[in-house]
Structure 1
Amino acid sequence: MSTMSSPVEFLELLAREAAAVEFEGPLVAARAAGLPPDRLAELEQAKSVALRVRALLERRRRRESELSGLYDTVSDLAGLRDLDDVLRAIVHRARHLLSADVAYMTLNDDERGDTYMRVTDGSVSARFQRLRLPMGAGLGGLVAQSGAPYVTANYGEDAGFHHTGEIDAGVGEEGLVAILGVPLRLGSTSIGVLYAANRSARPFVREEVALLVSLAAHAAVAIDTARLLTETRSALAELSAANTTIRAHSSSVERAAAAHDRMTALVLRGGGVEDVAAAVTEVLGGALLALDAEGRLLARVGE
């Protein structure tokens, strides 16, 4: 029996990471050689097992690549301090890790009670980039309200969430079809939604959902850290300005008190107008001219 009609051929195909279509080769060759039905059945079974092994190896390779990408993302986020840089890095990595056409993020606005588009990667529609989603409206509004992931293979035909004209128009202008949204959670609180989307009806599989959920968990912590750092820097700047004002005011008060004490001492010692004028210019600087009610010169200090 030749190698081409042996189950060993499938092992060789696995070893060189052949494409799935190449696994039909040994069967084609066996049929052409006129092998009996029992041998063909044996080869068919070997092919089936080999393809399952190939799929398992492919999933493991993809998972290793995803975990490596997730690790790199976490490392990158740990080195960022500016909130805008953090948000852009998260969305860019989400698009890259899931090989998506577009990735984007909405953040919750507690004052307005909705979630709004904060940053996008791969988007071409200005209307889409300005979207605000009421809680419960659209796929993102549903995820923001429920705090649970949601995936659709065809946004326009999905009746699992509430459609609105404005949101559908923005999604349509962007050309999005398949969308995955996962919550950005800090403990029990949802602060926004992270999305990956495609312009074709390619469904996101369970592993991709789990990957984006993992990224969102790390992203929420990075966002919270960046916010705290921004707030801390702002508070320190305000405190520094307040300290400068306080020091300036304290200096003015101290100079005024010293001047008051000096003037009082001069008067008590019987000092005249010229003595007072000299003391004033020494404290405040500059020159001083003192006149009486009739305009007559009483004292002159400096030019």
Structure 2
Amino acid sequence: MNILTVSNLNFSYGKKRIINNGNISIESGDIVGLIGNNGSGKTTLMKLISGIIPGYSENIIVNSKSIGVLIEEPSLYKDMTVLENLRFYCKLYRQEYDVISKYKKTLDVEAFLNKKVSKLSLGMKQRIGLFVALIASNEFILLDEPTNGLDPTGIDSLLKLIKNLSLDFGITFIISSHILENLDKVCNKNVLIRNEKLISLDSSEYMKFKIYSFEVSQSMIVECLEENKIPYEVNKRDIIVSVSDIEKVESLFNEKNISISKEKTSLSEVYFNDK
């Protein structure tokens, strides 16, 4: 089931067009990476989806009761404890305190519940901000640059947490980040905002695989592809085929009793090769 459908979306700030006839769909349980240059419209799109910027319900259909949002830094009360903050947001979003018990172990915050927010590390503040988003919605969460300012350990910890929340509770995430490697680790889909367009990087035009074998030469692989009229690209030493052709390629080499390996092209390769 689609938890989000964006259809024919247009948005401008004054005379500056941000999104021109944008269309995307996201299924329940997806972890979607949102990428693009500064000023491309990533945060704006999140604000449109969440309703922070209202008036676009005809173009943006959300099939969840609520949306949790963490845009920029978490809105936490520094002189209150973590538990006091969480209880405040439970009241704000009309949730029972049981939701704190439900997620406190998963988010690994039990040891910090009685600490004041002002005493927390940046990584823990981001974790508490994610907790607040979970209180707002256990279905659909938007995270804008959640790893900003975190050290490598903090980044890895937060990404694993997001992945576990999706797997264990079926929560859908949209995550924006400038660090494409981070999105590669957790996202099963990616959307690029470029030149006012919303581009799904999971279409056959963009999703590709590098193929190689330890049994035959690269030139022999190319020869087999050409004989069977399978389109391919060569980038330095890599032979690349489209996702729409990968099953055909595997079947072809299986018939020849040749073991073939595949590796999905990274998000950074897709992003920079498309410029």
**Range into which the TM-score falls when normalised by the shorter chain:** under 0.3
**Which is richer in strand?**
2
Question: What is the TM-score of this pair, normalised by structure 2?
Answer: 0.22
Larger radius of gyration: 1
| Larger proportion of helix | 1
The structure with higher relative contact order (CA 8 Å, sep 6+) is 2
